[in-house]
């Protein structure tokens, strides 16, 4: 592998990891409070379409990000209402949200078909043009869009929120022992709603970054390609810690970037096996890491206020 | 389960059972169809016109009804596979992957000229498809049972792996691939490996009937055999199952493999009966639809038959609807997902009632208000 290949691989790793990291931050909070939001794949998909559509019609990236976040709030409220208030099974709820999003995006995208192959306004790079020429740092860091920078900084902020603030303590308490938290006067339902809505916002944002930050177009038929589930795996591999989860996302993003690079390299390995790489890496990482992770005690369980 | 429902909810035996078993799905489906109608109305079409076009498309004539049967074949088998998992408390969401592997198995023995009599060749392709599917199901089953890997993530990741594996096997240098095709696809299956067409002028293959027989078979297995009892015990209370000597890990692997075997059969039937070739995207969507079927059925094998026909009706009718009214066919996916969300989100739930009976200590403190609300454990 030549030097240029290596540089472009690292650059692509950061770019492809950015949406995964963003989605994972929200998911860490919701899973820490005990709710597995399996609908992130579908919310990502909706966010991806929403971002591209608003950017296509208005030409404003900022507006499309804001509206995508609003969409994330709405979908988060739906998931929260079902899993927290109605105490439905979290797996089923998530899978059906995914199916809903899949059908809905296919339906809407067919209506927007004029934007099918037109590139839209994408996220601008954070640093000015003149910085892009710096060797090594230029391609790896300064050419990256704003979204990558946000994704690189947010996990640390999320870690501070989760471990150093009162609210973060409440979230962790609720995931481990909701009854005790309720006894201590914390509104369990309210905080669960907050975390699930946060996971909705970040999932939608991640989808928006996937289209506006990376590829610049939307493709019908599930373009997130299982990334939501990769994030779910990353959260387990990262042991429900924002920074370690982000690292796991980087690894999966690296696998994704590597398969694209190797495909272009015309290697001996058939390209289909390279395409499998991110998924295989996810399964293998899960298998190896799952026993080292400390699961939030009420992970995936429903909380009923009447239980003592 | 029966006695619990009767004693706790409605004391009239049959009606109470029927009410609990049927009312919730039907209420949910009605609400889902209403919500779908609202969406159709928003897109500027009279919902009644759209649903009428759907009815016409699915039941208008004999030919369209055979389409419903053909569409229901993979859903029946996939649905019962997922339903078995639900009964045991595992989420076997890998139906698409199993179907790819089943299709690969069918292609491996169905494409070479083995000069076997048709009946033997067909049975061989189906069995090899089932074996391939079951082996694929062993992976997430083992990971779930012995490694504690979440089966939903594992199966969905493996679906993508299976998809690319299929694409590799049917791409040019491989022996199964068709030469010079624009899109990677396998060679045509041998005549002797193709399922017979039951009605001239249609594509009606026996898949749906095989599916119904298998649903009935698994109804028997689940409710009248020790294997089925262990499965249901595992789903209802894993600790109790372990305490009474069930090897729960082995049971989980077996259940995942059974579901995978049925998924493999579904893939093999889809290839030998309908597609006659293997290619990358031939099962798109069946994975989520099977989960929806199993949920609407409440994990019940007989319910799977009813739920499958509802979904197949929507899918086949949806195509006609999109031609006649211009609403895109993906609207049916939206309607299906809404139906399931309403089914799980509305009405009473199982967990709390079960809990009240299982925990003897708690029964003292419970009262009638406890029957509403609570978590879904088994659906």
Option in A38, A88, A110 nearest B344 (CB): A88
Task: Encode pLDDT of A252-300 as tens digits.
Answer: 888 888 877 777 666 677 777 888 888 888 888 888 887 777 777 777 7
Position B370 scores a pLDDT of 36
Name every chain A residue with its beta carbon within 8 A of the beta carbon of B288: 95-96, 98-99, 102
Task: Scan residues 172-191 of A and list those with Cβ closer than 8 Å to B.
Answer: none
Test the B interface: residue of A79, A229, A248, A269 with most B CBs within 10 Å: A229
Name every chain B residue with its beta carbon within 8 A of the beta carbon of A287: 143, 147, 149
What confidence category does residue B282 fall into, taking pLDDT thresholds of 50, 70 and 90? confident
Position A129 scores a pLDDT of 66
Name every chain A residue with its beta carbon within 8 A of the beta carbon of B152: 38, 91, 95, 229, 232
| Nearest-neighbour CA in chain A from B78: distance (Å) | 16
Residue contact A106–B333, C-beta within 8 A: yes
Residue contact A103–B332, C-beta within 8 A: yes
Q: With CA atoms as reference, report the closest residue to B4 among B355, B263, B339.
A: B355
A3 inside domain: no
Residue B18, pLDDT > 60, answer: no
A135 inside domain: no
Q: With CA atoms as reference, report the closest residue to B80 among B303, B264, B257.
A: B303
Residue contact B341–A229, C-beta within 8 A: no
Task: Note the Cα A117 to chain centre separation in Å.
Answer: 25
Nearest CA in chain A to B145: A287
Q: B12 or A207: which carries more pLDDT confidence? A: A207
Name every chain B residue with its beta carbon within 8 A of the beta carbon of A45: none
Measure the CA–CA gap between B325 and A96, rounded to whole angstroms: 26
| Nearest-neighbour CA in chain B from A121: distance (Å) | 27
A297 inside domain: no
Measure the CA–CA gap between B337 and B316, rounded to whole angstroms: 16
Option in B152, B161, B338 nearest A100 (CB): B338
Measure the CA–CA gap between B9 and B23, rounded to whole angstroms: 13
Q: With CA atoms as reference, report the closest residue to A279 among B1, B159, B179, B290.
A: B159
- Model ipTM value: 0.87
Residue contact A110–B345, C-beta within 8 A: no
Residue contact B333–A98, C-beta within 8 A: no
Measure the CA–CA gap between A294 and B165, rounded to whole angstroms: 34
Residue contact B165–A287, C-beta within 8 A: no
Measure the CA–CA gap between A61 and A125, rounded to whole angstroms: 12
B111, B223 contact by CB (below 8 A): no
What confidence category does residue B367 fall into, taking pLDDT thresholds of 50, 70 and 90? very low
Residue B37, pLDDT > 60, answer: yes
Residue contact A236–B158, C-beta within 8 A: no
Residue contact A92–B370, C-beta within 8 A: no
Residue contact B150–A107, C-beta within 8 A: no
Q: With CA atoms as reference, report the closest residue to B328 among B43, B47, B67.
A: B43
A188 inside domain: yes
Q: Which two tokens stand for residue A97?
A: 């949200």
A120, A213 contact by CB (below 8 A): no
Option in B91, B150, B167 nearest A272 (CB): B167
B298, B21 contact by CB (below 8 A): yes
Residue numbers in chain A where pLDDT is lower than 70? 1, 113-122, 126-142, 216, 221, 264-267, 305-308
Domain ranges, residue A220: 9-113+142-292
Residue B10, pLDDT > 90, answer: no
Position B339 scores a pLDDT of 86
* Percent of residues, chain B, with pLDDT higher than 90: 11
Residue B9, pLDDT > 50, answer: no
A125 inside domain: no
Option in B154, B328, B336 nearest A286 (CB): B154
Position A307 scores a pLDDT of 62
Residue B176, pLDDT > 50, answer: yes
Residue contact B153–A282, C-beta within 8 A: yes
Position A74 scores a pLDDT of 93
| Nearest-neighbour CA in chain A from B201: distance (Å) | 31
Position A225 scores a pLDDT of 82
Task: Describe the crossing of helices A271-289 and B151-169 by its angle, rounded to 10 degrees.
Answer: 160
Position B133 scores a pLDDT of 92
Nearest CA in chain B to A277: B161
* Percent of residues, chain B, with pLDDT higher than 70: 85
The number of distinct structural domains making up chain A is 1
Measure the CA–CA gap between B377 and B338, rounded to whole angstroms: 20
Residue B222, pLDDT > 90, answer: no
B337, A97 contact by CB (below 8 A): yes
Position B20 scores a pLDDT of 60
Q: Across residues B177-190, what is the average pLDDT? A: 78
Test the B interface: residue of A95, A301, A305 with most B CBs within 10 Å: A95
What DSSP state is assigned to residue B61?
S
Test the B interface: residue of A42, A96, A192, A288 with most B CBs within 10 Å: A96
Residue contact B152–A38, C-beta within 8 A: yes
What DSSP state is assigned to residue B186?
B
Measure the CA–CA gap between B8 and B346, rounded to whole angstroms: 19
Position B353 scores a pLDDT of 44
Residue contact A92–B331, C-beta within 8 A: no
Quick check: pTM over 0.90? no
Task: Scan residues 24-53 of A and list those with Cβ closer than 8 Å to B.
Answer: 38
Task: Encode pLDDT of B325-336 as tens digits.
Answer: 878 778 888 888
Task: Scan residues 65-124 of A and list those with Cβ closer than 8 Å to B.
Answer: 81-82, 86-89, 91-93, 95-100, 102-104, 106-107, 110-111
Option in B156, B330, B337 nearest A106 (CB): B330
Position B21 scores a pLDDT of 62
DSSP letters spanning B193-210: GSPPPSSTTS---THHHH
CATH of the domain at A201: 1.10.3470
A157 inside domain: yes
Residue contact A88–B149, C-beta within 8 A: no
Name every chain B residue with its beta carbon within 8 A of the beta carbon of A88: 344-345, 375-376
What confidence category does residue B136 fall into, taking pLDDT thresholds of 50, 70 and 90? very high
Position A200 scores a pLDDT of 93
Residue contact B333–A280, C-beta within 8 A: no
Q: B206 or B354: which carries more pLDDT confidence? A: B206
Number of neighbours of residue B213 by Cβ within 10 angstroms: 12
């Amino acid at each position: 592998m030549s030097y240029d290949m290596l540089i472009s691989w690292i650059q692509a790793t950061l770019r492809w990891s950015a949406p995964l990291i963003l989605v994972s931050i929200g998911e860490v909070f919701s899973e820490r409070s005990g709710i597995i939001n399996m609908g992130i794949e579908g919310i990502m998909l909706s966010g991806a379409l929403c971002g591209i559509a608003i950017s296509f019609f208005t030409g404003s990236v900022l507006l499309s990000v804001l509206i995508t976040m609003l969409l994330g709030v709405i979908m988060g409220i739906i998931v929260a209402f079902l899993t927290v208030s109605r105490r439905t099974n979290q797996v089923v709820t998530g899978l059906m949200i995914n199916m809903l999003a899949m059908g809905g995006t296919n339906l809407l995208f067919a209506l927007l078909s004029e934007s099918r192959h037109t590139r839209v306004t994408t996220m601008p790079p954070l640093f000015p043009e003149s910085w892009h020429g710096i060797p090594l740092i230029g391609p790896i860091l300064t050419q990256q869009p704003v979204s990558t920078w946000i994704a690189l900084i947010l996990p640390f902020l999320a870690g501070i929120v989760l471990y150093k603030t009162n609210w973060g303590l409440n979230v962790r308490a609720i995931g481990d022992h909701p009854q005790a938290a309720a006894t201590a006067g914390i509104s369990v339902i309210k905080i669960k709603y907050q975390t699930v809505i946060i996971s909705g916002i970040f999932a939608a944002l991640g989808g928006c970054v996937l289209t506006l930050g990376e590829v610049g177009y939307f493709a019908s038929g599930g373009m997130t390609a299982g990334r939501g589930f990769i994030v779910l795996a990353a959260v387990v591999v990262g042991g429900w810690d924002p920074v370690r989860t982000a690292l796991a996302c980087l690894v999966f993003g690296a696998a994704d970037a590597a398969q694209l690079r190797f495909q272009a390299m015309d290697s001996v390995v058939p390209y289909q096996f390279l395409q499998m790489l991110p998924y295989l890496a996810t399964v293998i990482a899960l298998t190896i890491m799952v026993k080292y992770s400390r699961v939030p005690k009420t992970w995936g369980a429903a909380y009923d206020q009447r239980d003592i | 389960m029966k006695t619990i429902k009767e004693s706790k909810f409605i004391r009239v035996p049959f009606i109470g059972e029927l009410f609990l078993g049927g009312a919730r799905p039907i209420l949910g489906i009605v609400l889902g169809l209403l919500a779908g109608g609202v969406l159709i109305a928003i897109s500027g079409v009279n919902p009644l016109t759209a649903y009428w076009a759907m009815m016409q498309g699915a039941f208008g004539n004999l030919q369209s009804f055979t389409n419903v049967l053909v569409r229901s074949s993979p859903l029946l088998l996939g649905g019962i596979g997922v339903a078995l998992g639900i009964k045991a408390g595992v989420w076997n969401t890998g139906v698409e992957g199993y179907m790819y592997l089943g299709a690969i198995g069918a292609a491996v023995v169905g494409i070479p000229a083995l000069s076997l009599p048709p009946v033997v060749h067909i049975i061989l392709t189906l069995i090899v498809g089932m074996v391939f599917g079951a082996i694929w199901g062993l992976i997430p089953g083992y990971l779930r049972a012995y490694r504690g890997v979440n089966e939903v993530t594992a199966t969905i990741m493996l679906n993508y792996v299976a998809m690319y594996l299929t694409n590799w096997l049917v791409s040019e240098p491989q022996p199964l691939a068709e030469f010079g095709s624009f899109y990677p696809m396998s060679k045509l299956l041998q005549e002797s490996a193709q399922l017979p067409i039951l009605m001239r002028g249609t594509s009606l293959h026996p898949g749906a009937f095989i599916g119904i027989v298998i649903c009935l078979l698994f109804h028997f297995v689940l409710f009248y055999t020790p294997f089925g009892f262990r499965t249901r015990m595992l789903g209802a209370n894993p600790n109790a199952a372990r305490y009474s000597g069930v090897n729960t890990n082995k049971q989980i692997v077996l259940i995942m493999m059974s579901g995978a075997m049925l998924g493999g059969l579904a893939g093999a039937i889809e290839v030998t009966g309908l597609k006659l070739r293997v290619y990358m995207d031939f099962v798109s969507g069946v994975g989520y639809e099977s989960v929806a079927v199993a949920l609407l059925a409440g994990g019940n094998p007989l319910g799977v038959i009813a739920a499958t026909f509802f979904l197949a009706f929507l899918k086949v009718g949806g195509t006609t609807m999109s031609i006649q009214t211009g609403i895109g066919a993906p609207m049916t996916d939206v309607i299906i997902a809404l139906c399931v969300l309403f089914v799980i989100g509305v009405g009473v739930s199982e967990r709390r009632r079960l809990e009240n009976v299982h925990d003897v200590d708690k029964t003292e403190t419970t009262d009638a208000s406890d029957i509403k609300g609570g978590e879904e454990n088994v659906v």
